[in-house]
Amino acid sequence: MLQSRPITTIKDGTDSRAGANGGAGSDFGTGAGIEAELANGGVVEGTERDGKDRSGDRDGSGEALFSGLGASPGIASGVARIVAELDQLDKVGEGDVIVTPMTTPDMVPAMKRAAGIVTNEGGMTSHAAIISRELGVPAVVGTGNATEALDDDDAVTIDGDKGTVTEGRSETDEQRDAVEEVRPQSPVKPMTATEVKVNVSIPGAAERAAATGADGVGLLRLEHMILSTNKTPEKYIADRGVDAYIEEIVEGIRGVADEFYPRPVRVRTLDAPTDEFRQLEGGDDEPHEHNPMLGYRGIRRSLDLPEVFEHELSAFRELYEMGYDNVEIMLPLVNDVEDVLAAKRLMREAGIDTERRSWGVMIETPASALCIAELADCGIDFASFGTNDLTQYTLAVDRNNENVAGYFDELHPAVLDLIGRTVETCREHDVATSICGQAGSKPRMVNFLVNEGVSSISANIDAVRDVQHEVKRVEQKLVLESIR
């Protein structure tokens, strides 16, 4: 599922942007944790391991051990379980705190059991951050050396709002209901012309996502359904056959489509880079790439392996035949007309009526943004901004490189100009526009998009209601200004 990759957001007013690991505290659904600075490699000065016994219950008033980014809100206490290898997942029990370099799709079952999650690496769009928010599990990411600073059985309290990890248990730790936490307290949903949807990475989060009252799913990542099998598509098919592979995809999408029906569920076809496939069974033959983010992934991989892509499309056809007309197909990392027309031809060959079914593209590269008029002429129904990659490719900032993390800015004028031009062109061609990147949960981006006339905004699960209110506020302001 590793579309969720390490990114660290930007803290306003940092003296040095290169290597800055803070973040703007105004993001919806992330709390004060983004204000945490990863100074000294993510460890607060004076909190190195000192041989002190931290096991057992404490009163929760212990010293701060280290800090990171508050990636998923909430406070949780438990005993630490250091997971350096996948074969150590069995030791994670209900209510434990997973401490690991970085989570992977294989770890999701253990993440569901955990009370909290702490990682050495990653930012606000890392796998740990996205999955923890969807599960409603408090998480602190990007701490630097949590796996070295803690030992198994250490009792700790993590604050997913502030991004801190402290010694001992908290007296205020209570049972939490992840679904009820995101259910709107007011039964009255803000009425907006701009649809507010929700991002879903794992089918298991569908109930929690639907409880937000979102207008649909703006992004359902297909890769998690495949990568969670711990096998590459080719290996899975070789071991269990084509029918089982198709059924794996159908059941994953179906669970989300059922939860939201008749609201639309936009599913992105497989997008995982080679370094992520290499970790799976059958991954030995994956090419070694200097920068997988710029390599063999997205639609380019799908078009190069049409026999595998056709199985994905067969799953969509089966869903349509079962009556799931709320499922939409979204193509990732397209660059130009050739990409779109080739994918459209394969969809038709798979038995998908491209005139009747809703399908579209991700706008993740400057090339796709600049070619949007030609892409619109291909018959797409929507264009959705993947701001994580669009920012990376526009600003030449490697999302996995902490040395330049401070330069990653989805609100950079160049990024906003590409988005604004794309929205304007799409409106001229009657093509809907949306955003499904993490920036959709930021107030400033919401304000910009509504003013530009975007059709929908897809937000993180814990940010949906705040985004709804912000959209309503901006729309009301536009109406007032038009009549004054």
pLDDT in tens, 398-432: 876 667 778 989 999 999 999 999 999 999 999 99
CATH class of the domain comprising 179-483: alpha beta
Mean pLDDT of 327-356: 98
Tell me, what's the pLDDT at 401?
67
Give the pLDDT score at 84.
Answer: 92
The rounded distance, in Å, linking the Cα atoms of 7 and 189 is 32
Measure Cα distances from 138 to 39, 118, 153, 377, 459 in Å: 21, 9, 19, 45, 18
Is 378 catalytic? The answer is: no
Number of Cβ within 10 Å of residue 367's Cβ equals 14
Beta bridge partners of 76: 158
Using DSSP bridges, classify how beta strands 382-385 and 327-331 pair: parallel, antiparallel or unpaired.
Answer: unpaired
Between CA 202 and CA 461 the distance in angstroms is 12
Model confidence at 129, pLDDT cuts 50, 70, 90, reads confident
- How big is the CA angle at 437 (ends 433 and 442), to the nearest 5 degrees? 95
pLDDT, position 32:
34
Quick one: CA dihedral 83, 87, 90, 94, positive or negative? positive
Lowest mean pLDDT among 170-184, 248-262, 372-386: 170-184
Structure confidence at residue 190 (pLDDT): 86
Encode burial over 448-478: b for 16+ CB neighbours within 10 A, e otherwise: bbbebebbbbbbbbbbbbbbbebbbbbbeee
Q: What does DSSP say about strands 64-67 and 265-268: parallel, antiparallel, or unpaired?
A: unpaired
Poorest-pLDDT segment among 210-219, 378-387, 394-403: 394-403
The DSSP bridge partners found for residue 118 are 99, 140
- 189: pLDDT confidence band, cut at 50, 70 and 90? confident
Condensed to tens digits (0 to 9), the pLDDT of residues 28-56 reads 654 433 333 333 333 333 333 344 444 44
pLDDT exceeds 50 at position 24: no
What average pLDDT score do residues 260-285 get? 92
Nearest-CA neighbor of 443 among 49, 24, 56? Answer: 24
Q: Is 371 a catalytic residue?
A: no
Average pLDDT over residues 307-313: 96
The tens digit of pLDDT for each residue in 99-120 reads 999 998 778 889 999 999 999 9
Q: Which amino acid is at 196?
A: V
Q: How far is CA 62 from CA 47, 59, 82, 436, in A?
A: 12, 7, 20, 39
Mean pLDDT of the chain: 85
| Mean pLDDT on 129-149 | 91
In what side-by-side order are the strands of the sheet with 69-72?
A: 64-67, 164-167, 155-159, 75-82, 97-100, 116-119, 139-141, 69-72
Q: Which of 127, 224, 311, 371 is catalytic?
A: 127
Q: Which residue has the tokens 């031809």?
A: 345
For 31-167, the fitting CATH number among 3.40.80.10, 3.40.1010.10, 3.40.1160.10, 3.50.30.10 is 3.50.30.10
**What confidence tens digit (pLDDT) does each residue in 62-85 have?**
788 999 989 898 899 999 999 998
Cis link prior to 203 (omega < 30° from 0)? no
Q: Tokens 């794309």 sit at which residue?
A: 422
Q: Is the predicted pLDDT of residue 58 greater than 60, yes or no? A: no
pLDDT of residue 61: 54
> Looking at residue 87, what is its pLDDT?
85
- Rounded mean pLDDT, 348-357: 98
Structural tokens at position 348: 């038709």
Give me the catalytic one of 288, 429, 436, 469. 436
Tokens 């130009």: give the residue: 336
Q: Which position has the higher pLDDT, 20 or 204?
A: 204
Would you kindly state where each structural domain of the chain is located, as residue ranges?
Answer: 31-167, 179-483
Considering only residues 481 and 36, tell me which one the structure prediction assigns the higher pLDDT: 481
List the one residue out of 142, 152, 150 whose CA is nearest residue 167: 150
Pairing of β 116-119 and β 97-100? parallel
Question: Averaged over 444-450, what is the pLDDT?
Answer: 97
- What are the CA-CA distances from residue 306 to residues 274, 314, 348 (Å)? 17, 12, 13
pLDDT at position 57 = 42
